[in-house]
Structure 1
Amino acid sequence: MAFDYDLFVIGGGSGGVRAARVAAAEGAKVAIAESSRMGGTCVIRGCVPKKLMVFASSYHESFEDARSYGWDVEDGAFDWNAFSGHLNIELDRLEGVYRSLLDGSNVEIFDSRARLADAHTVELADGTQKTAKHILVATGGRPVRPDMPNAHLGIVSDDIFHLPELPKRLLIIGGGYIACEFACIMNGLGVEVTQFYRGAQILRGFDDEARGLVAEMMREKGINLHLGTNIVDMAEASADHTIPNTSTGTDAAMGAPVAEHAAQATSGSGGPVWVKATNGTEAVYDAVLFATGRNPNTADMGLEEIGVEVGRRGEIVVDEYSQTAVPSIYAIGDVTNRVQLTPVAIREGMAFVETVFKGNPTPIDHDLIPSAIFTQPELGTIGLTEEEAREQEPVEIYCTSFRPMQSAFAGRTDRVLMKLVVAKESRKVLGCHIVAPGAGEMIQLAGIAVKMGATKEDFDRTVAVHPTMSEELVTMKTPMRVA
């Protein structure tokens, strides 16, 4: 059978674009369809704009520190419109880069939603059908709202970048990395931030000691973090909003009457929102951000109709080579719900090309992936947490927490954490966890050593770079505890 293409990619995010370009470089005839903007979540509404917002939010402390270092500077005021305008120009530029790379690789672009008609046929939104020997689904994920009345009054992470103005008071629901990153960002930009998380501690799944320090530092910087707390009701609010079932009519988080908050609210998300929490408090916020999870983008794609297995949350089930139950169809990235990180999607795309177009079957290596959470301070991590490691085997914990030189000189109470989890018998470093400014940069380099199987003695043999925060990783000689 003659096909229109050797490969048709559905989804123009980082993984899909990389797979399309590399396959085309191998001589394959390739097409790609994207229903939104080329670049996907990471470039358009995720990693890139978020990291630029992290940079923007850090300047307030930089101005404060500069005065301690002898600079005669004023704080000034943050101009959201100026920043967001520049941000949109940069995102337009990056999307243009992605399109140019695809054009230069002779990949045909369809700016259209696409779904599967059969094992070798893709149907575009206008009804046009294209056939391909292989189909790669790389449609990523999307943020989800909780299943509760009036959830539409809240915003999700995608909406943050399109706010017409910053809210004065923001409530964030969630305790994962997206919730915590935006709590720190918005706090740094001058927004009064309250955060609810139903669990006992934020950043579930990360090292307990590390996430505990992040939570402590978030509170010290002014974020009103409530653990064991969730939202139970929400509604549109106004100056004469009547609060049901309340005896005080006050906002415990802010200590001001609810009616006063409603009168002052100037929401960038359509209007003030009244919220009742599980702890009994009620308050009005200019915006409510739901950061309560993401689901794979698989709705109405025709997957199950043609035999592709889909999991409980909508994720496409694949094997170690990213192949689905239908041999001609593969899937990579967040749509498979394996490891939701952009570099992982890119690696999966490369492995797909190795397997399908280079005749070199390449399984995906999801072991020991370094990652960073861009809170303030950042959390960088690779390998096992202390809690995971001690369930596996006897371990030694090397750990230190201290005030870094730069912020200590400026009079701030910030602390950092450097932690190594070491197997007692093999001496291999099973995990490395860093909470510090620049932790993302540090963990990238420490991750090389951990991935190579370095031992504690390998770290010890490395001469320290002084004076740096990261030198502590190679100078800790005595374990803090044995577990």
Structure 2
Amino acid sequence: MKNIVIGSGPAGRLGSLELGKLGEEVTLIEKNHIAGTCLNEGCMVICALTDITKFIDENNRFNNHGFLKSQIDISYDKIVEKITETQVMLRKLNQMENESVGNNVIYGEASIEGDTVVVGNESFEYDNLLIATGARPFIPDVKGSEFGLTNKDILKLDEVPEKLNIIGGGIIACEIANIYSTLGSEVNVLARSKFLKELGENTRRYVLEKIIPDVNVLENTGVSEVFENKILTDNNEELEGVPFFATGRTPNSEIAEGFVELNDDRTIKVNEMMQTNLSNVYAAGDVTGGYQLTPVARKEGITAARNMAGYGNKMTYDCIPQTLSLNMEVSFVENEKVSLSDDEKATISFPGIGGPGAFWKILDGETGYTEIDFDKNRNRLNKINHISPSSVSDVAYLSYLMRMDYDLDDYGEFIEIHPSTDTNYKIIKNMWL
């Protein structure tokens, strides 16, 4: 059967790769660069820059302790150059990976005309179609919004802005604030409501006080006008600095308009098999809304691919772990299907463990923080907020326990690697088993 995948971000790339592995005929169509927002404008760019800010943060800490004397000269244009070089290498690898399973990768802007996809002067018929066109930064309807930067512009900057005004109060806003504050910018963050409302209050406070202490956060503050090098708040306060929008994302669903059913927010409507209202048309990734996370998009793409190939598969969204890429990672997960009463819930909290990546933070009292809610009657994890150098892997493993509804006693045979900052041992064994 002929399968066409439009979009090569995490959902489309993994979906087409899965189809190829299953022996299906696949044409993968990409408008710009393979691997989508994640590699080219999003997660990988943030991670690359955060690797540098972590180094700067550690260098400053070692200097303050007095056993290292060094001065760092930052070349932002060289950073951008090397990120771009790395992206080119990864694009080649991603294309080779898809072609290695027999997939045909072509570049150009696609349009859908019934049972045919048109790219330039070529037409491609399909039996099954997967739309994985992703999303783009949402720009609010504010006067002067054309002057605002987004994550798409990070690699277009010539230098680190002297002053930066970040409009938005979520994860992306925090990550951008951390990067440019560490690189030397004076950073304001303007949140319409509460900053980092995804986190528990104690975790949020730790981020503000210990990880991004130099960032000026203005909550319950909107923007009435944007200029090239300043903004005007809804309180008529002028703040100098380059404006940067981190105000969410909007789906690239125009290609599907009038073809398949859309939700009210213009995302593509799908069922648990990632199937649209047309039985042979599927959609996956950010264009479908929901959790706009790379691992979720990958799983959605694979789910769609398996169904396209005739292998029944359903997508679930239980206990999805998330993280903030900062100078110390902040990870969190919650079992949203369970609501515990005060009698059922127990909460524990403790400082981070001083292992690798955190040993030299002990002197400053900045080894991290963990707070966990659990069902004390059923002995199940319910919610985790975790700050540590190992929080990404810790919370990923613990979210699996939550998703599979394991009793915590089932984790008793876990053996961690030492030395590490892996808090699984402390969370699971020392606290209540």
TM-score with structure 1 setting the length:
0.82
1:397 matched to 2:391: no
Q: Look up the equivalent residue of 2:166 and give its one-letter code.
A: I
Q: Look up the equivalent residue of 1:133 and give its one-letter code.
A: D
- Checking the alignment, whether the CA contact within 8 Å between 1:65 and 1:407 is kept in structure 2 is no
Aligned equivalents of 1:219 and 1:347: distance in 2? 32
Tell me by how many angstroms 1:446 deviates: 2.6
C-alpha spacing 1:477/1:392, structure 2 compared with 1 (3 Å):
closer
Counterpart among 317, 324, 333 of residue 373 in structure 1: 324
C-alpha spacing 1:448/1:478, structure 2 compared with 1 (3 Å):
closer
Tell me by how many angstroms 1:207 deviates: 2.9
Tell me by how many angstroms 1:105 deviates: 2.2
2:233 corresponds to: 277
1:363 corresponds to: 314
1:123 corresponds to: 118
- Checking the alignment, whether the CA contact within 8 Å between 2:390 and 2:422 is kept in structure 1 is no
Q: Please, what is the CA RMSD of the aligned residues?
A: 2.6
Tell me by how many angstroms 1:298 deviates: 1.0
- Checking the alignment, whether the CA contact within 8 Å between 1:321 and 1:351 is kept in structure 2 is yes
Tell me by how many angstroms 1:403 deviates: 8.3
Unpaired runs of at least 5, structure 2: none
Note the 1:97-112 alignment, pairs <5 A.
97-112=93-108
Q: Which is worse superposed, 327-336 or 420-429?
A: 420-429
Identity %, equivalent residues: 23
1:11 corresponds to: 7
Counterpart among 183, 205, 220 of residue 228 in structure 1: 220
Q: Look up the equivalent residue of 1:325 and give its one-letter code.
A: N
Q: Look up the equivalent residue of 2:2 and give its one-letter code.
A: D
Q: Look up the equivalent residue of 1:275 and give its one-letter code.
A: I
Q: Look up the equivalent residue of 2:349 and give its one-letter code.
A: C
| Number of residue pairs the alignment of both structures matches | 429
C-alpha spacing 1:111/1:391, structure 2 compared with 1 (3 Å):
farther
Counterpart among 385, 391, 394 of residue 442 in structure 1: 394
SS in 2 for 1:161: helix
Note the 1:68-467 alignment, pairs <5 A.
71-118=67-114, 120-124=115-119, 126-199=120-193, 201-220=194-213, 222-236=214-228, 273-285=229-241, 287-299=242-254, 301=255, 303-306=256-259, 308-357=260-309, 359-384=310-335, 389-390=339-340, 394-401=344-351, 404=354, 406=358, 411-414=363-366, 416-458=368-410
Unpaired runs of at least 5, structure 1: 237-272
Tell me by how many angstroms 1:430 deviates: 1.4
- Checking the alignment, whether the CA contact within 8 Å between 1:173 and 1:288 is kept in structure 2 is yes
C-alpha spacing 1:190/1:361, structure 2 compared with 1 (3 Å):
same
Q: Look up the equivalent residue of 1:282 and give its one-letter code.
A: E
Tell me by how many angstroms 1:61 deviates: 1.7
- Checking the alignment, whether the CA contact within 8 Å between 1:173 and 1:292 is kept in structure 2 is yes
TM-score with structure 2 setting the length:
0.91
Aligned equivalents of 1:177 and 1:409: distance in 2? 24
Aligned equivalents of 1:51 and 1:389: distance in 2? 34
SS in 1 for 2:218: strand
Tell me by how many angstroms 1:428 deviates: 0.9
Tell me by how many angstroms 1:320 deviates: 0.5
C-alpha spacing 1:409/1:210, structure 2 compared with 1 (3 Å):
closer
- Checking the alignment, whether the CA contact within 8 Å between 2:330 and 2:387 is kept in structure 1 is yes
- CA deviations on 1:404-424 (whole Å, 9 max, x unpaired) are 574666743425221221113
- CA deviations on 1:122-168 (whole Å, 9 max, x unpaired) are 122x2432110001000111101110111000101111122122111
SS in 2 for 1:305: coil
- CA deviations on 1:339-395 (whole Å, 9 max, x unpaired) are 2111111112222222221x321100211222211133321112238x974469821
SS in 1 for 2:210: helix
- Checking the alignment, whether the CA contact within 8 Å between 2:31 and 2:109 is kept in structure 1 is yes
- CA deviations on 1:248-292 (whole Å, 9 max, x unpaired) are xxxxxxxxxxxxxxxxxxxxxxxxx2211134421221x111000
C-alpha spacing 1:436/1:230, structure 2 compared with 1 (3 Å):
farther
C-alpha spacing 1:206/1:309, structure 2 compared with 1 (3 Å):
farther
